[in-house]
Amino acid sequence: MTGRTGRTDRRRSAKPTIADVAALAGVSVSAVSKVMNGRDGISAPTRQRVLDAAAKLRWSPSATAVALRGARTRAVGMVAGRSPDVLATDPHFTLLISGIERELAPADYGLLLHIVGEEPGAEERAYRRLAEERRVDGVILTESRIGDPRFELLRHLRLPAVLVGAPWREDPVPAVRASGQDAGVRAAVDHLLGLGHRRIAYVSGPQDRVHTVFRRQVFETALAEHGLRPGRTLTSDFTAQGAVAAMRELLAADAAERPTAVLFANDTMAVAGMNAARRLGYDVPGDLSVIGYDDLPLGELVYPRLTTIAQDLVQLGRAAAAAMFTLLNVPHAQDPPTIHPPHLVPRESTGPAPAAA
């Protein structure tokens, strides 16, 4: 005891520890621990003395020490393998993160974020470090890719994981997503058909994304059900430049082949494509209808306002965090959020198919 007191005295102004609180309350260290963790065996007056002492010293348990002891770090990791440029144009991640935080914060969990760019292997290294250094209790994955190696990696690292979106194949990793995933694209196709469009093109994201393939299939199925062949389908990369190139290519065709409506895989591409078309002399929606995906606020800001397929990214983030808590057996008061299926938000960028066609 003497040694301890000596040390404490020597640095009285430094960070208080549980021992300081115990000393102030006149009880043992473990009594304080019991009080803080709500275990019984401590009488009400003693409990109050401890609480008062803790408050006076502004003490709360060191997260580090608790983590070391209990193997629970109260942090969740997320690795975003995208370049800052893409992140900046596309608030997709930001929305997801803010949803995740909504759920984490009340449980006193933190989000450890790693933005690693797109160099190959960078993402894997990040997960490895997160796991080996035991910095987080689990990780949230986004954007499952075809042949995604991360599931295997994380299983090997014994790091609990939750996926946002559809997995590339059956996998024990829990995945959160809305029911009725196909509703959005279907509604978009119906909307366009109802407006008289018959040649509808699709500009997708990178081929290796699971949702890319899925949405394209829905697109083609929906058209086929109405006895139509799918229009042209281009693969792009989620960037504005990619969208401009795709749009140029689509509009270069003969008038008889040229699409009268284009579905884009995200809002950023849709807006960029729409502007590219206008610069080439096409009126939107007069000559060409355009639909995006995500329903970012951006869609409201542009002229004409973008018709788009809304998906509830904030809720998706919340659900992912909730699923993580379930996986970790962390009690979380809030109900698991329901995620609405993607749905069409008709605005100004879609209109009747041009009569000339």
Partner DNA sequence: GAGGATAGGTAAAACGATATACCTGTGCGG
Partner DNA sequence: CCGCACAGGTATATCGTTTTACCTATCCTC
Instruction: Write out the residues near a second copy by the rule CB under 8 A.
Output: 15, 58-65, 67-68, 73, 75, 84-85, 87-89, 91, 93-95, 97-99, 101-102, 105, 108, 110-116, 126, 129, 132-135, 158, 240, 268, 271-272, 274-275, 278-279, 296-298, 300-303, 314
240: partner contacted, choices DNA, a second copy, none (Cβ within 5-8 A by kind): a second copy
Please give the Cα distance from 153 to 155 (Å, whole number). 5
Which ranges in the chain belong to alpha helices (H)?
Answer: 2-10, 18-25, 29-36, 44-57, 63-70, 84-89, 92-104, 122-132, 150-157, 183-194, 210-225, 240-251, 267-279, 298-301, 313-328
In the complex with DNA, the residue whose CB is nearer, 59 or 238, is 59
Cβ–Cβ < 8 Å for 173, 141: yes
Q: How far is the CB of 125 from DNA (least distance, A)?
A: 18
Q: How many CA atoms within 13 Å lie on the side-chain side of 344?
A: 20
Q: How far is the CB of 265 from a second copy (least distance, A)?
A: 16
In the complex with DNA, the residue whose CB is nearer, 64 or 179, is 64
Break the chain down into helix, strand, coil percent, rounded to 5: 45, 15, 40
Please give the Cα distance from 203 to 263 (Å, whole number). 6
Q: How far is the CB of 301 from a second copy (least distance, A)?
A: 5
Q: How far is the CB of 297 from a second copy (least distance, A)?
A: 4
In the complex with a second copy, the residue whose CB is nearer, 212 or 239, is 239
175: partner contacted, choices DNA, a second copy, none (Cβ within 5-8 A by kind): none
* φ, ψ at 320 (rounded to 5°): -65, -45
In the complex with a second copy, the residue whose CB is nearer, 4 or 169, is 4
Q: How far is the CB of 28 from DNA (least distance, A)?
A: 3
Q: How far is the CB of 173 from DNA (least distance, A)?
A: 24
In the complex with a second copy, the residue whose CB is nearer, 88 or 146, is 88
What residues are paired with 261 via a beta bridge? 200, 289
* Cα-based angle 232, 237, 239 (whole degrees, multiple of 5): 110
In the complex with DNA, the residue whose CB is nearer, 129 or 279, is 129
Please give the Cα distance from 331 to 198 (Å, whole number). 52
34: partner contacted, choices DNA, a second copy, none (Cβ within 5-8 A by kind): DNA
3: partner contacted, choices a second copy, DNA, none (Cβ within 5-8 A by kind): DNA
* φ, ψ at 214 (rounded to 5°): -60, -50
In the complex with DNA, the residue whose CB is nearer, 13 or 43, is 43
Of 301, 303, 86, 211, whose CA–CA distance to 290 is shortest? 303
The CB density around residue 185, as the number of other CB atoms within 10 Å, is 25
CB contact set of 46 (below 8 Å; sequence gap of 6+): 25, 27, 31, 35
Rounded CA Rg of the chain: 27
Q: How far is the CB of 133 from DNA (least distance, A)?
A: 9
In the complex with a second copy, the residue whose CB is nearer, 115 or 183, is 115
CB contact set of 276 (below 8 Å; sequence gap of 6+): 243, 244, 247, 248
289: partner contacted, choices a second copy, DNA, none (Cβ within 5-8 A by kind): none
Tell me which residues touch DNA (CB under 7 A): 3, 7, 15, 17-19, 27-31, 33-34, 36-37, 39, 41-43, 46, 59, 61-62, 64-66, 68-71
339: partner contacted, choices a second copy, DNA, none (Cβ within 5-8 A by kind): none
Q: How far is the CB of 184 from DNA (least distance, A)?
A: 45
31: partner contacted, choices DNA, a second copy, none (Cβ within 5-8 A by kind): DNA
In the complex with DNA, the residue whose CB is nearer, 41 or 147, is 41
* φ, ψ at 294 (rounded to 5°): 125, -35
Please give the Cα distance from 269 to 306 (Å, whole number). 11
Q: How far is the CB of 264 from DNA (least distance, A)?
A: 48
